[in-house]
Amino acid sequence: MASVPTVTTELGALVGLAGDGVRRWRGIPYARPPVGELRWKAPRPPSLSGGVHVATEYGPHAMQAPDPMNPSAVCDEDCLYLNVCTPEGPVPEGGWPVLFWLHGGGYRVGHGEQLGDGEEFARAGIVVVTINYRLGSLGFLHLAGLFGEPEADAGVCGFLDQVEALKWVRRNISAFGGDPDRITVYGVSAGAKSVGNLMGSPLGTGLFAQAISSSGGADHVATPEAGTALARRLLDEVGCHDVEALRALPAKEFVEAQERILTGFQALWLWRPTLHPRVLPEVPIEPIRRGSAAGVSLLVGCNSNEGSTYALMLGDDVATAPASGVLNGILGDEGASRLLETYLRRVPDLKSAKIAAMGDERYGVPTQRLADAQSAYAAVYRYRIDIAAPGVPEQLDGGHGTETTMAWKTPLPLATQGSAVNPKRERAALLIHRSWVRFIRDGVADADGPEWPPYGPELRPVLVFREDTDLVLDPRSDERNAWGDTEWESGTWFPVT
């Protein structure tokens, strides 16, 4: 029988769980509950200190729309908790490397433990930290444009939560056997865009040594004008424009109101951090281009058909409805037409071309630009994933979010409903996990697959994970060139009425 693991932190003694080769501590508060007068305020240090505390149950998820796949999930405004999973056994000299995970969900939904505790990473000699952070209108409601400087942090609360959790980890992770100087921040989708924000924010400097960005970039922030317009729309929906009265309303009223504005997959990119003079002074890709994250090694990539997940969830017609407006707004009518003609060389019809282009607008192009920017200042390893997890229907090959269970080596319940497992895909999935482990532990991405050299804009080497994984130089260069160097403001695809 495994002994009960206990560690001493600034919060006091934390009692966790042990078994299956790992140790776990759950529901650790890294900040005070952001309720009452602390709603829409920067996180404050936790009040818990001294004594012995049982840390065996997850904390509540951030307030969000109900999850039909997990109807019993507990959501609460009191949500600023993290979880730690470590290897069993003696701690090596200097400690284990640390993986700090930021979940995805479009800043609207999600929670830290949605992929589990990270047991497979821990068994590979890595300390895994997963966190919850504020979401939606409770995490990213830009009130400064309506109520002035006292509400300056309201539009970046969720991002400040991530920074606060990282600070807590740096101060306390050595108690769990982790090395605070070997932290890798890792996120997917909104979590990956959060990684980009950390790389570009002055608040992220020195908090982590490496980064993994899966389907992200460093571009998804709102201007103060856009943030103010959305905040005004939300307050109109709530029916209250007094800031003190707003703090007294039940949290669920804000979730219900934001879901009336946009809901489901159409709402995934409505909420996002707003530019802030101290926190996010400019779109993060710009300071990254100037070296704000110099020395931070980066594993970065996306999937080959990100938009297919949206098409599956929304239907082709709904998913492609905003394409003309979005693409024409970025490239102009002629440029958008040339772009779709370029995609039509690879995909069978115009609808497929629009799905592919929209996926690249949100993930592919921002990923490319983040790789280009950071490669001037640190080692960068770039990948593309062309398959879904073994057993998942092939119609989701390369779809958004379909790689995470492979990277985490997490069994998928959906696999039992999918196609027969392909041994080549099983090997590719295992290689993905081993490559991530190697990067977190050693700072290089080579595992037991093809040679994987650092990325640079001259040759643009990309490791393409597929049934026959291979290194490809500048894949789909015609599509990359069709986008050109045009910059655009990243926002929601769907109109807010």
Catalytic residues: 189, 306, 400
DSSP 183-223: EEEEEETHHHHHHHHHHHSGGGTTS-SEEEEES--S---B-
Instruction: Answer whether 402's CB lies under 8 Å from 429's CB.
Output: no
Strand partners, 472: 462
Q: Copy the structure tokens of residue 216.
A: 């992200």
What is residue 149's three-state secondary structure?
Answer: helix
What is the spatial distance between Cα 84 and Cα 172, in angstroms, rounded to a whole number?
Answer: 11
Residue that has been written with the tokens 């490496």 in this structure:
210
Q: Copy the structure tokens of residue 156.
A: 């970046």
Instruction: Answer whether 208's CB lies under 8 Å from 184's CB.
Output: yes
DSSP 255-278: HHHHHHHS-GGGGTTT--PBPBTT
Q: CB-based contacts of 490: which residues, under 8 Å, 6+ apart?
A: 217, 219, 220, 221, 269, 272, 362, 366
What is the spatial distance between Cα 266 and Cα 253, in angstroms, rounded to a whole number?
Answer: 20
Q: What would you report as the CA-atom Rg of the chain, rounded to the nearest whole angstrom?
A: 22
Residue that has been written with the tokens 């960068």 in this structure:
380
Cα–Cα nearest to 177, from 3, 34, 25, 389: 25
- Residue 222 one-letter amino acid: A
